[in-house]
Chains A and B, each alone.
Chain A
Amino acid sequence: MQSAFLILESGERFQGKLPEWVSGDFFGEVVFNTGMVGYVEAMTDPSYRGQILTFTYPLIGNYGVPDVSEWESDSIHTAGVIVSTASSTFQHRNATSSFLDWCEKNQVPVLMDVDTRALAKTLSRNGVVAGVISTKEEPPKEFVDINKRHLVKEVSISKPKLIGEEGPIVVAVDCGMKKNIMRHLLELPIRILQVPFDYDFTNEEYDAVFISNGPGDPAMCKETVGILKKELNGDKPIFGICLGSQIMAQAIGAKTYKLPFGHRAQNHACIEEGAERCYLTSQNHGFAIDEESLPDDWQVMYRNLNDQTVQGIKHKTKPFFSVQFHPEAGPGPVDTAFLFEKFYKMIEEEVGK
């Protein structure tokens, strides 16, 4: 173990320890997640691309790490991880590796023994900032702003592929799609045409469109927004999740803005607009849709009960909707998995026409 630090661009410094193998500085946007389980899912979620993720739950690694088939993508996307205690032992029937070995193998630095509660409080008070994990006590001359990178491009696929034997075709625009979304979609009797974020599918044969989650600022996804704008002229069902929801917003001419410290948790309450029905949702986003800017033919579908931010929008007449939270869970509660069913019902209707 070596003594090391997390230094924030805003000036705060948090002390911790790094495994011996780590050397060099690791830059990223420092965020925190309050989930008590799901560290593997979170770290392999492409939406965390380039971020230094702080776990507020103090014991990480308790159940080890399963093999890649259980992950949310094929690699770790976080630029670094901050924990209080990394479990030195693990025992679980699905585990193939310890948490620390896994991080070492993937060359992801784990800063341990950090007062993660103090760090989370700092981030929630001051907002998300750039930071660096380093063995040096002095702050670097310059911090790296990951939002200048085209993060979606880094995590999207390179060419389209068709999955499935029969059934209606759903175009799934991959902006860094979590595997659990794919698992949910594949439970439906459909075929999936998985396409890169900038692939113009509008001239191909398909029945519905899905836009995935992904990292960073929706403003970086101009290509996707442009393609979606064309699509919105039609009547085929469209469903977006997380970044997909923000892309939807941009495509319909609404605005998005950056939240002070984002929502990264598994316990965010959403209420269905105009009803008394509440859902517990898993969330992981730094941007939100500006309600005021919604066009007249669109409406709010779900709202966050904590800060009233928009969590879902839908078209008043056409089968278009998107949600900011993660109905596919992984990690998190599965209360809203019914949205995939809802999407399928729209597809059935569309195909039936």
Chain B
Amino acid sequence: MNSDFKNESDLSTSSLQCSGRDDAKNIIPGTDNVIPSSDSVIPSDDNVIPSVVEGSEIKKVLLLGSGGLRISQAGEFDYSGSQAIKALQEEGVEVVLVNPNIATVQTDDHMADKVYLQPLNVPTVAKIITDENPDAILLSFGGQTALNLGLELEEQGILAKNKVKVLGSSVETIRLAEDRALFKAEIEKINVKTAKSFCVDTVEEALKAAQEIGFPLMMRSGFSLGGLGSGIVHDIATLETNVRATLHAAPHVLIEECLIGWSEFEYEIVRDCVGNTITVCNMENFDAIGVHTGESIVIAPSQTLDNKEYHFLREIAVKVANHFNIIGECNIQYAYNAKTGDYRVIEINPRLSRSSALASKATGYPLAFVAAKLALGLKLHEIKNSVTQKTCAFFEPALDYLVVKIPRWDTHKLKAAERRIGTEMKSVGEVMAIGRSFPEALQKAVGMLNIGVTNLSDYQNEITDLNAEIKNPTDRRIFALYQYFLKGGSVDQVAEWTNIHPWFLHPIKQIADFEKSFPSTSIDKETLLRAKQLGFSDKTLARLKGVSAQEFRQMRLSNDVVPYVKQIDTLAGEFEAQTNYLYMTYHADRHDIEPSKTSATVVLGSGPYSIGSSVEFDWCAVNTARTLKRLGESPIMINSNPETVSTDYDESDRLYFEQLTFERVQDIAGFENLKGIIVSVGGQAANNLALPLHNEGYKIIGTSPVNIDQAEDRSKFSSLLNELNIDQPDWVSATSLDNARNFAEKVGYPVLVRPSFVLSGAAMNVAYSEQELVQFITEASSVSPDHPVVISDFIMDAKELEIDGVAQNGEIVIYAMSEHVENAGVHSGDATIVLPPQKLYLETIRRTKKIARKIVKALNISGPFNMQLIAKDNAIKVIECNLRASRSFPFASKVTNHNFIEIATEVIMDHYTHRHYETLDLDYVGVKTPQFSYTRLKGANPVAHVEMASTGEVACLGEDWLDAFYRSWQATEVSIPRKRLFISIGNTDKKLKLLPYLQELDRKGWDLYTTTGTHDFLARNGVASSHVYKASDGLNPNTTDLIKHHDVDLIINIPRRHNQQPQEQVSDGFLIRRLAIDHHIPLVTNFQIAQAMLQALIEEYDKGVHDVKSWQEFVGAGSLGN
């Protein structure tokens, strides 16, 4: 095998070029590592790509994580990484993990042997490799980030130099699979069909390719993550523009045959090093080709394929896996023409993916766990089926249910971002529903989305042009379809417009028809059962009948119409299994299991990832369950999000993959033998259930729901603060426009406007003038006593700080104080946060602590809490207090090395014994940086403001604050390769404040680029900069070309104000920011961050990557408390 290994370096030089033309043939030294069988049976393919792995001498493995959550790369990689760690450790292998995503389970102290909360870039990982000297590296558990980084490490010879083996599928395999041209050439060798396609490096070549294929055609960029830069192109002009833009970010572009109208299927393949291959799950997309699989509703298993088709595609999957010598997991995507039976392979992903996470949760087959074992050289039949404990991992799960996945979008939260969905991914999360009929699973999934709907019927926003939203899919097409059917639309019409298979459309129409007939149908057991089997919520049925949801529930229960608990056992009941993986269905007449014997504790998970509710709440839920287990309690987890660790069935005693709705939580609580319910670790959605559940008599563990309500209800909380003599920004709940105007005049502009979200879906905004105030309010909705708009005083130039803590009976047990780098006005989820605070006055800290104590006492908090405050001069005002775990709990826990969730769980379960903690005086600093996904949201304005827009976060520890800040910033996968800075600052006082930094950078040899105002200012102050024109000047050289040609490495563009008016969207500033995003050039738009960044460039940049310390090294040295 060694000779093959050598070939890798030859290969690396050519691989990133478009053509594998050079020497694709040389790449595959015709080895067969496929196995010895006494019969000559193997799908023997003499072109099989070699593997380089001999598992036995592997003692220490470096595992690459996926970094901050972003669109197309979410929490699924915490699931896959965590399972990999468990699997490796079970085999006695030491695991070193690199992942700056501090909010993950995989970076917990009891997971990997060593954790580096450090940037996932070549210099950092290279240093870690030198320091740690691992035997091998795993690239397939950290998404595209880890895969790409692995390829770079290999190309630069770092792996070979340090004798680090790549486990699992080899680098050759990865490269051949990832590079579209190489892939196509390769797969054609085994006569498997792919779409007609041309790889082009220039616009001219693209036009030539278009002539061959004809319009419409499909454009894709190689090495893309979630289909970035891809799309259907209908004409020459668009093709020209798009190809030009994409070629800046990608080495080449593919022009392909357009398969619009075909269906899309996926198979998840697992293969071991001797060639044993299975497909664990297949999936069918609801939406036809043209909608990215991450944007599509997905059903598993496939529903419309017959036996021959199912196995035809499966056979191709196995053949491809054999040819590419996959070891571990691989996903294959097909376009399939149901009218002709023709197919095309779209792509393969030789790694764990979002789809594989879904497949894993859909089937109960622990794909990532098994893939990790296979990477070590184990064979499929040597690994146990962890569900049955009797059978082995070589089998294909038989489902006796189906699952429906629906993506969760937040496009409406991002100003000016398009709602249209297509070949690029925009969704931020997903839900998975399990049911025994399509309507049941579909409606269940809709109710899991946490968007204020319990099923298809109660989508509140009016869709004005149904036909348009059906024809051109948006994030709410499923609701448009439903409303269209309610209005009498036909399946045939929809099928013609959308190419969605009629098999999926008929049931939706059926649901709509039922809704129409239900109000006039008399209620009996039969009707109720039918309604529930179609997936209707009690809430909707109650509304249709004009009764309250709880009344309806009683009526249903008295008719004995209840959901039954079923197990997921991977074998459809064929073998007896002691599985704890559960769901509920109305297509049953008996439970699979008995209620838990010991009295159990329900933990409510977070539901789908969305902007504002991300992997941190999964971390909280998992740590709660683990602590409960350690305390001898019996945790029952409820969650609906397949991209999580909490839905691994070994994390709790029972896992209900279920809705987190009031109705379903009651169903489960009603069935189980319960001690109580923990609502405080799943984020806001879980927290919202506290009072309703309490009112129905369910025991809520932790702070009393009455007190939770007192903190949640703005008026109640405000009166409490007044009583306690604690300051708060002035506010009013305006019930009329005049109301709002009068208030704003009283406190003075700017004011913060917060419309009733559920009704309008509109975002928060800062109004700087009366005109803006009126505009925001009328845009949002009409103001009325039923739908008041909250207006509050917006305090400028203030610092924002947060306290995360745990209290017991009104006394603080532990707390951590952190400060925002950005001034108040940036949402706390989008802020850069420093812990412990570095720039607060001791006086401020003391006062803040006192305020926190008072509030904790007054609300009699028992459990986790979070407080947000602003400090200006010596005044401290409280913005809000959440009586639940917050987004920053994992950050606070890992920086201080005290697990806040563990402590909170001990407190609320009455297992806590008092201890002392040091959280302020640490020898190092932690900085948390938001991770944005603006590249995926065409047209969105990339400026952080009062409404949260980031999709994830990362954090790094450093010796001092600047060190931590700079590392953490780089951990969002940005880098500054050369010393070329473009800077444009609006305000004069800000220009003045930044001047010393720029003078210093000038001395240090940085090239500065500026537009007129900044240029003249710098010139007056003796700093030379290259002048470029604004786009609107229409002259050369200009900012647009500067960015498009990548003549600059960092862009600092500080808008004058926090918010942007719609008409400003086409301003020069917006253009610069948007171009920076679209051309992958790091961008800073906040003044305080700019200051910090310039300071870092002065002090840190020239050092390069020096010391890289693991988390254990930091906290071991620094936690004085222990």
Contacts and interface: CB of A to CB of B under 8 A. Distances in A.
A278 B394 contact: yes
Contacts of B341: 93
Given A124-B575, A275-B35, A63 B502 contact: no
Interface in B313-338: 314-315, 318, 338
Contact of A36 (B304, B390, B398, B574): B398
A32 B571 CA distance: 12
Contacts of A331: 307, 311
A92 B669 CA distance: 43
Q: Sorted from nearest, which 4 A-B pairs have the closest CB atoms?
A: A38-B307, A34-B398, A120-B573, A34-B572
Contacts of A125: 576
Q: Of B39, B275, B503, B573, which is in contact with the most chain A CB atoms at under 10 Å from its CB? A: B573
Given A85-B436, A120-B400, A342-B39, A333 B572 contact: no
B897 to A, nearest CB: 45
A266 interface: yes
Interface string B453-471: 0000000000000000000
Interface in B436-485: 436-438
B315 A334 contact: yes
B3 interface: no
A92 B306 contact: yes
A117 interface: yes
Contacts of B506: 88-89
Nearest to A337: B315
A85 B35 contact: no
Nearest to A16: B589
A88 B507 CA distance: 9
B315 A272 contact: no
Contacts of B390: 306
Q: Of A36, A63, A94, A271, which is in contact with the most chain B CB atoms at under 10 Å from its CB? A: A36
A334 B43 CA distance: 11
Contacts of A35: 307, 398
Given A34-B571, A269-B394, A91 B381 contact: no
Given A34-B572, A63-B306, A91-B501, A116 B400 contact: yes
Interface in A1-32: 14-15, 32
B6 interface: no
Given A91-B304, A115-B588, A280-B278, 14 more contacts: A15-B589, A63-B305, A84-B587, A85-B587, A92-B306, A117-B566, A120-B572, A121-B576, A124-B574, A124-B575, A269-B391, A272-B37, A275-B35, A305-B392
Given A57-B399, A57-B400, A62-B304, A305 B572 contact: no
Given A91-B501, A118-B588, A306-B395, A59 B37 contact: no
B969 to A, nearest CB: 48
Secondary structure call for the B interface: loop
A275 B306 contact: no
Nearest to B398: A34
Secondary structure call for the A interface: loop
Q: Of B391, B395, B574, B587, which is in contact with the most chain A CB atoms at under 10 Å from its CB? A: B574
Given A93-B339, A120-B573, A125-B576, A115 B590 contact: yes
16 contacts: A56-B400, A84-B436, A91-B502, A91-B503, A115-B587, A117-B572, A117-B588, A120-B574, A124-B573, A272-B38, A275-B35, A276-B381, A329-B311, A333-B315, A334-B311, A335-B318
Given A84-B587, A115-B589, A37 B400 contact: no
Nearest to A345: B40
Interface in A88-127: 88-94, 113, 115-118, 120-121, 124-125
A265 B574 contact: yes
A277 interface: yes
Contacts of B859: none
Interface in A51-97: 56-59, 62-63, 66, 84-85, 87-94
Interface of A: 14-15, 32, 34-38, 40-41, 56-59, 62-63, 66, 84-85, 87-94, 113, 115-118, 120-121, 124-125, 265-269, 271-272, 274-278, 280, 305-306, 329-335, 338, 342
Contact of A306 (B305, B399, B400, B575): B575
B274 to A, nearest CB: 5
Contact of B36 (A58, A92, A276): A276
B303 interface: yes
Contacts of B274: 276-277
B392 A269 contact: yes
Given A93-B338, A117-B566, A333-B311, A342 B41 contact: yes
B290 to A, nearest CB: 20
A268 B395 contact: yes
A278 B41 CA distance: 11
Contact of B41 (A14, A265, A277): A277
B276 interface: yes
Interface residues of B, number: 63
B307 A37 contact: yes
A267 B590 CA distance: 26
Interface of B: 35-39, 41-42, 274-276, 278, 301, 303-308, 310-311, 314-315, 318, 338-341, 379-381, 390-392, 394-402, 436-438, 501-503, 506, 510, 564, 566, 571-576, 587-590, 592
A306 B384 CA distance: 10
B592 A117 contact: yes
A115 to B, nearest CB: 4
Nearest to A331: B307
B587 A37 contact: no
B587 to A, nearest CB: 6
B303 A59 contact: yes
Nearest to B501: A91
Contacts of B576: 121, 124-125
B263 to A, nearest CB: 12
Contacts of A36: 301, 310, 398-399
A275 B310 contact: no
A59 B303 CA distance: 8
B394 A62 contact: no
A58 B315 contact: no
Contacts of A271: 381, 394
B576 to A, nearest CB: 7
Contacts of B275: 277
Nearest to B337: A93
Given A59-B437, A115-B587, A305 B402 contact: no
A89 B379 CA distance: 42
A327 to B, nearest CB: 11
Contacts of B303: 59, 62
A7 B394 CA distance: 35
Contact of A59 (B318, B395, B402): B402
B578 to A, nearest CB: 13
A261 to B, nearest CB: 8
Contacts of B310: 36-37
A297 B395 CA distance: 31
A56 B573 CA distance: 8
A57 B306 CA distance: 13
B309 to A, nearest CB: 8
A92 B338 contact: yes
Given A56-B573, A118-B590, A277 B37 contact: yes
A322 to B, nearest CB: 14
Contacts of A89: 502-503, 506
B587 A277 contact: no
Nearest to B435: A58
A106 to B, nearest CB: 19
B1063 to A, nearest CB: 49
Nearest to B340: A93
A267 B397 contact: yes
A224 to B, nearest CB: 27
A224 B532 CA distance: 54
A132 B36 CA distance: 49
Q: Of B306, B310, B338, B396, which is in contact with the most chain A CB atoms at under 10 Å from its CB? A: B306
A93 B263 CA distance: 14
